[in-house]
Amino acid sequence: MAKYKQVIINVQGTSVTVVSGSGGDYISLTYMLKAKDGDFFISDWLRNRNTVEFLGIWESIYNPDFNYGEFAIIKSQVGLNSYKLSVKDWVEKTQAVGLKAVAGRYGGTFAHKDIAFEFGMWISAEFKLYLIREFQRLKEAETLKLKAGWSIQRTLAKVNYCIHTDAIKERLIPPELTKKQIDTVYASEADMLNVALFGKTASKWRQDNPGLRGNIRDYNREENIFNPWP
């Protein structure tokens, strides 16, 4: 089952859900709407020509599957008193990815952070600024946590590797071997363990991942996959 991370940020007393993963950061417009005074609906926001133009530009930049034909039809009708557009209609007609209508208990309307910030302006300029600040604070906290986690994992990897090398020294290396022969035994045993655990040697991993720091042991963890809305 696909995994994703969901957290709550507080924006001027309003709890707002943020869903994050490899597909980007999506913010709940449904929860943001609770901060708006008076009757206001997401469909009202979608009826505005400026909104549709903004969404169209965003999709043209980030979505190669965007349906420009349907977008042109919607753009020609938006703003008319008789025209109504829901998030579901927008997504189905244009194949948009910036907005998502999610059913269920924890559902609602979610928007990519770029679009959510734009929507925040419709609530108030002050709310938008506080939303951006709280979102940035969330990202900074996540970055610090990742750095701390990487450091801890690196330390554990070093400890485990020492246990491995000590075992080789005590059990597999005869005392009469030269230093060069001993180094060959260490390398051979380490590579055998790497192949058993990760499917490749350390040198092959470095060849396949030239841009990553550390070594193959540092990256022995499950990645967080974002796909809450298949």
The CA distance from 149 to 51, in Å, is 40
* Residues paired with residue 5 on neighbouring β-strands, in sequence order: 20
The CA distance from 126 to 35, in Å, is 11
The CA distance from 35 to 207, in Å, is 52
Instruction: Count Cβ neighbours within 10 Å for each residue of 87-107 and write b for 16 or more, e otherwise.
Output: beebeeebebbbbbbbeeeee
Q: What is the largest CA-CA distance in the chain?
A: 92
- pLDDT tens across the length of the chain (230 residues): 346 788 899 999 999 999 987 778 999 999 999 988 777 789 889 988 999 999 999 999 999 999 999 999 999 988 787 888 899 999 999 999 999 988 877 788 999 999 999 999 999 999 999 999 999 999 888 888 776 655 555 555 555 555 555 555 555 455 554 555 445 544 555 555 555 555 666 677 677 777 666 666 565 544 333 344 44
Q: Tokens 């009708």 sit at which residue? A: 77
The CA distance from 106 to 63, in Å, is 26
The CA distance from 67 to 75, in Å, is 12
Domain spans in the chain, listed from the N-terminal domain onward: 5-139, 148-215
Q: What is the pTM of this model?
A: 0.63
Which runs of consecutive H residues, i.e. helices, occur in the chain?
Answer: 29-32, 42-46, 49-62, 68-77, 87-94, 113-123, 125-171, 179-198, 202-208
